[in-house]
Structure 1
């Protein structure tokens, strides 16, 4: 058999990583048919790639159910990257404080090259009914508060998201491109995002962008809660706490905040 060319090797590696990502996105084990559907690749190709993951210890195969699932080896590599992510350590005290102030689950999110977001840290609400999320899992950016806080400041990612059909994830999901552009412009102007039941029918969120020392938006911090607790008064009183948390983390990253005004000023006095 002829030796593979360099481009073929790169393509095979990229495809195997794509299968790895598909397993990571899934809510549970996946059949070969589901992997084929998720990747859009031929069945034989996907089988070779997922078999590589099994043989290298990144995935397991259950004969009983005919499904594949990730192993802790994948988690170990991901957790190693997260351990070295300084933003998480730096933000932790502020996330804890925001959870105490709001009583709700707090998230720290970053934007991935795919224009999706990934939650890199969270502090869970002590309440019995709270937002359920998974660290490291990719989530949509266009219908979540943390995601819109990031998209509003990243034009390339916005165009990538809006150039493709948008999934109607719930009856409240905004899928109209013009309306989303208007909402993102509002986020840029007001400095925060609010969503209600767009990604999950029973959950909503309030989030604000975090900037680094150059002024670039590098993350977002948000509060997630059931929409039945998301009254107008709760939103009004939570927004300044979320903004102050974003300001504090930004300042810790070296960003020089402009003169306090509006909700920030009211909260700090």
Structure 2
């Protein structure tokens, strides 16, 4: 475990003081409660206020309350909890239908993070875990999520045309940024992503987008199949099932599909 940063610990200690009482504190009260030097508290409070984690109370000069940034972080945390919980429920239903491994993943930078996973009951199945991180361009869920980004945002994440090759996980991985852009364009048209042995030499996957109440793609649902059970007909069946599962999860998040 890494070393704790004293300044960060003290800043968090200050924020947690506001969980008790009426939620309003002055710098002297913070100093007394935490036993910190007055100058240290002044610097930390000033920094937290500058970042909107604390705001001055107009009717009480020298007093502070929690700022909007805490609400924004809490709301995002709540959204992720809902997505993960609902994702597990839908993934379980999809897995019961096809008896293959089902994931729900979100995008972070150029990686995907699996937030929900339900295993196949078959002896031969994909081995993974919730919380695992993989390069997005090597996975069906990742390519689905990258394809859903606005072009300008995608441009900030991918190397430019002819740029540095992307990391390969297998000999089938896409390593050319230009080739990846072409693949993403096809995925946008189809609304479904497929990868064949690009992240694991023994596994292929299909994935569909998950949308929230605003219509924004916030995750993707995938079905992973060992190569021994993979063929064109099975791929088509699982594409339809992944699309239905993703639509179900989207509906649970408040998305209303077009008629």
Tell me the distance in 2 between the aligned counterparts of 1:95 and 1:125.
Answer: 11
Tell me the distance in 2 between the aligned counterparts of 1:124 and 1:173.
Answer: 24
Tell me the distance in 2 between the aligned counterparts of 1:160 and 1:83.
Answer: 24
Tell me the distance in 2 between the aligned counterparts of 1:231 and 1:158.
Answer: 34
Please say if 1:209 is aligned against 2:209.
Answer: yes
Tell me the distance in 2 between the aligned counterparts of 1:128 and 1:246.
Answer: 26
Show structure 1 runs of 5+ residues with no match.
1-8, 14-80, 260-269
- Going from structure 1 to structure 2, the CA distance change for 1:252 and 1:166 (only over 3 Å counts) comes to same
1:86-133 C-alpha deviation (Å, 9 max, x unpaired): 112223332111101221000010111x32110011000001111111
Tell me the distance in 2 between the aligned counterparts of 1:253 and 1:87.
Answer: 7
Please say if 1:135 is aligned against 2:130.
Answer: yes
**Equivalence for 1:185:** 185
**Equivalence for 2:95:** 99
Tell me the distance in 1 between the aligned counterparts of 2:165 and 2:99.
Answer: 36
- Going from structure 1 to structure 2, the CA distance change for 1:233 and 1:166 (only over 3 Å counts) comes to same
Tell me the distance in 1 between the aligned counterparts of 2:237 and 2:216.
Answer: 27
Aligned residues: 183
Tell me the distance in 2 between the aligned counterparts of 1:217 and 1:84.
Answer: 13
User: Does the CA-based 8 Å contact 2:158-2:177 persist in structure 1?
Assistant: no
1:233-269 C-alpha deviation (Å, 9 max, x unpaired): 100111111001111111111111022xxxxxxxxxx
Please say if 1:125 is aligned against 2:100.
Answer: no
User: Does the CA-based 8 Å contact 1:212-1:218 persist in structure 2?
Assistant: yes
- Going from structure 1 to structure 2, the CA distance change for 1:136 and 1:92 (only over 3 Å counts) comes to closer
Please say if 1:230 is aligned against 2:230.
Answer: yes
Tell me the distance in 2 between the aligned counterparts of 1:179 and 1:118.
Answer: 23
- Going from structure 1 to structure 2, the CA distance change for 1:130 and 1:85 (only over 3 Å counts) comes to same
Q: Helix, strand or coil: the match of 1:87?
A: helix
Please say if 1:160 is aligned against 2:157.
Answer: yes
User: Does the CA-based 8 Å contact 1:151-1:158 persist in structure 2?
Assistant: no
- Going from structure 1 to structure 2, the CA distance change for 1:115 and 1:176 (only over 3 Å counts) comes to closer
Tell me the distance in 2 between the aligned counterparts of 1:206 and 1:160.
Answer: 23
Q: Helix, strand or coil: the match of 1:85?
A: helix
Deviation at 1:82, TM superposition (A): 9.4
Tell me the distance in 2 between the aligned counterparts of 1:127 and 1:82.
Answer: 34
Tell me the distance in 1 between the aligned counterparts of 2:216 and 2:78.
Answer: 21
User: Which piece of structure 1 moves more, 192-201 or 161-170?
Assistant: 161-170
Tell me the distance in 1 between the aligned counterparts of 2:200 and 2:233.
Answer: 22
Residue 104 of structure 2 is aligned with which of 102, 108, 113?
A: 108
Tell me the distance in 2 between the aligned counterparts of 1:158 and 1:130.
Answer: 35
**Equivalence for 2:73:** none
TM-score of the superposition, structure 1-length normalised? 0.63
Show structure 2 runs of 5+ residues with no match.
10-76
1:151-209 C-alpha deviation (Å, 9 max, x unpaired): 10114246413455312221111112222111111111111101011111111100001
